[in-house]
Amino acid sequence: MEKLNEILHEKKTVKKQYLEERNHLENDFSKVQTAVRTQKQEYDKCLGKLQQDQAKLQDLKGKAKSGGKLDKAKLDHKKSMVKLHIVHNNYVLSLEEVCLHQKEYLNQTLPEFLDSHQATQEALAQQCKDFLQSFYTNTNFCSEDFCDMSKQISNSIEEIVPENHFVQFIDAFKSDPIENVTFEFDDGLISSVTGDLKADTIQLNAETHEALKTRLQSLEEEESTTKQELESKEEALKEVEDAITQLECSPKDKDNNMLLYLQKKRERHKCLLEVTETKAKLEIQSQMIKRIKESLDAAGDDMPKMLDNGDDCDVSLTSDTNQPPNSTIAKAGKPFKSLFNKFKKADGGEKSTHYEPNDVPDANHTNNAHEVNSSDVEAVLEEQEWFHGVLPREEVQRLLSKDGDFLVRESKNKRTSEVQYVLSAFWNGHKHFIIQYGEGGWRFEGDSFPSIPELVTNQYKSGTIVTAKSQCILSNPIIKEQWQLNNDDIALEMKIGNGNFGEVYKGIYKPKNQVVAIKTCRDTLSDDQRKKFLQEGRILKQYDHPNIVQFIGIAAQRQPVMIVMEYVAGGALLSYLRKHGKSQSKKQLTKMCEDAANGMAYLENKNCIHRDLAARNCLVGDNNVVKISDFGMSREEEEYTVSDGLKQIPIKWTAPEALLYGKYTSLCDVWSFGILMWEIFSGGLTPYQGMSNAQARERVDAGYRMPASEGTPNAIYNFYSLQDIECQHLREHPIPFKTFPLTGYRMPA
């Protein structure tokens, strides 16, 4: 009966797996098709905007208008044309991608998926046959009157051939072949556009070249990651196949471990499908890279300028708040070369310094680093209370809230990586002005001054506008806050670990002669990575609790940027448990759990979801006090939904609902707290011993809960372990940290 139940359970599991995987494949293909439709809609939208801007420009020309209105109309028309070219290329590439995806889906992924599932069903049929044969053998004690009947049963069992078992079923119920969907460029989109746009052809010119290079670089990085994924998945497949071969070579072991054998067969199917999917993904990426490279190579280095059918005019590209967040122009991060000529002043053609959105001057702009020593400039600037060092644009904008607010920061030219200094201000929105150096002085549009402090002070005290275009006036310098530290006040002494963004050091905060821990940020990181690094400091600086690691400040006057925190001498809780956990009393271990619960209750009251609570992310201080640390994945929200899948998610510590739906609340931290308790009482063992992340997730979904580790008191285990029905109720009606006492609450292991 046990073997029969195992087979029935496996059949149900395989059916569920089939539906999940089929939906996964179809959803993936659906997403690519949706992307094509989205690009087409964006194309339509850009065409409409271009036609409006073109009509407005022609109207002003017809009325013989001149001056600011005509210049603005020319600028709007140029911007619309640039955006159209970018979207045109995106549309062409999305059509290419969906065709490649469909080819791989119909020729590789889907056939492999169906073949694998058929093989799984045939394996189950073979197990049924083996079971029936075993049943027959062990019950064949018939009298002579029933020997014939017994023989008939035996013959019937012998006639079962798994390979032929589903032939009639497939003939009767197989679906019609999936026909290729034709994805073609809509010629109607460009029928009303004059110029050189062509269907299915990437438009390459000075304005689109940088965006395509950025797209190519992104694809090459994705291809490299996919190759690594493929190697890992092929290795996992080989391990499973070796295990199956070993079981099949020993029929006795196979019979005694029927459930294990079936699970390995199902695991092999899953691994094989993942390998096939990854190969298909890699092929698509390779073809897309090839397509873009061919276009770039064919054009060579001499990029033609875009023809916009308007008069030549000097324009500056400003930020477009209506720009879709996922468009290529937004992701590229670099405005286009021919658009970086500046408005010329009527009295002599002097250049404006108003740059948005990326603080990138044109090729003809005199860069600060060429003619001045940036270290000398930094030394002078660091004495100014309104100089905020290398604090990124996004962090700076949080400090500027009302008209007239301003500060100065250090930035880098995105193309040359040279140092430049930027005046950031708020005036009908956030504005950013590169402070230009030339003719022996610093300036915006007016007079030059020997130093940046003199320039800014004059601008502030005189109340004159920064640029004619922006009309911005400086009235309120934003002074550095107490948490903004000077880099010179931090002394690094000894490396104590590695973080996601750089090294972690033990050091001294000189003004208070305080021993501190210092997280550093590598200056080679991308803008997004630097934002994530500083996000941890921004979250942590709001909290003050004995069970939360204390924030001291952020040093961002220059590179490297550093987050400074209290130094907790005991180090990571996980390391402490592995060294000393077995020598701790049950009362001491329980106190550690209580400390963690108190810290998490505080975070919940602050609407902070930690998302990575585990022994490795807790510290042990004096008197074994536990402190919560590592807020790199934290979010200040009551509910947070992930948008980038399960990348870097700690599977074994994450609540099932977060893994299934990507939605996090403080209740997900409660689940992680149960795992943390298990770690504490196990002496720092890894949860779900002997299981991979995928296996642990599957077992938990099926109702599995870890047994108590050796020596765990029953009261503690009952604290976080429930029967299945109680566990189900808990997930449907959970109790947050702030409403449960330490005793009496139960948590699934």
725 in a known ligand binding site: no
d(CA 166, CA 157) in angstroms, rounded, equals 16
Pairing of strands 490-498, 503-509: antiparallel
Q: Find out whether 300 is annotated in a ligand binding site.
A: no
The CA distance from 656 to 474, in Å, is 52
Contacts for 31 with CB less than 8 Å, ≥ 6 apart: none
Q: State how beta strands 561-566 and 551-555 pair.
A: antiparallel
Number of residues that this document lists for the chain: 749
Report the first-to-last Cα separation within the chain, whole angstroms. 30
**Residue that has been written with the tokens 């045109």 in this structure:** 88
503 known member of a binding site: yes
Active site (annotated) includes residue 612: yes
Q: Are 46 and 190 in contact (CB under 8 A)?
A: no
Strands 514-521 and 561-566: antiparallel
| Closest listed residue to residue 668, CA positions, set 709, 610, 614 | 610
- Check the annotation: does 519 bind a ligand: yes
Q: Which residues contact 432 (CB under 8 A, 6 or more apart)?
A: 355, 356, 357, 359, 393, 422, 423, 424, 425
Task: Phi first, then psi: give them for residue 35, nearest 5 degrees.
Answer: -60, -40
Give 169-223 as a DSSP string.
Answer: HHHHHPPPPPPPPP----GGGTTT--SS--TT----STTTHHHHHHHHHHHHHHH
Check whether 718 is labelled as a binding-site residue: no
Is residue 266 within 8 A of residue 21, CB to CB? The reply is no
* Closest-CA residue to 600 (of 545, 518, 530): 545
The CA distances from residue 610 to 536, 604, 654, in Å, are 11, 9, 11
500 labelled binding-site residue? yes
Which residues are registered as beta bridge partners of 408?
A: 387, 423
Please give the DSSP secondary-structure letter assigned to residue 109: I
Burial of residue 363, with CB atoms counted within 10 A of its CB: 0-12 exposed, 13-18 middle, 19 or more buried: exposed
Is residue 599 within 8 Å of 543, Cβ to Cβ? no
User: Are 367 and 412 spatial neighbours (Cβ–Cβ below 8 Å)?
Assistant: no
In whole angstroms, how large is the CA radius of gyration of the chain? 33
Is residue 69 within 8 Å of 60, Cβ to Cβ? yes
564 burial level (CB within 10 Å; 0-12, 13-18, 19+): buried
Is 65 annotated as belonging to a binding site? no
Answer yes or no: is 690 a known binding residue: no
From the candidates 53, 76, 612, 630, give the one annotated as an active-site residue: 612
Rounded-to-integer distance, Cα 285 and Cα 304, Å: 28
Residues labelled catalytic: 612
Query: Annotated binding site for ATP: which residue ranges?
Result: 496-504, 519
Query: Annotated binding site: which residue ranges?
Result: 496-504, 519
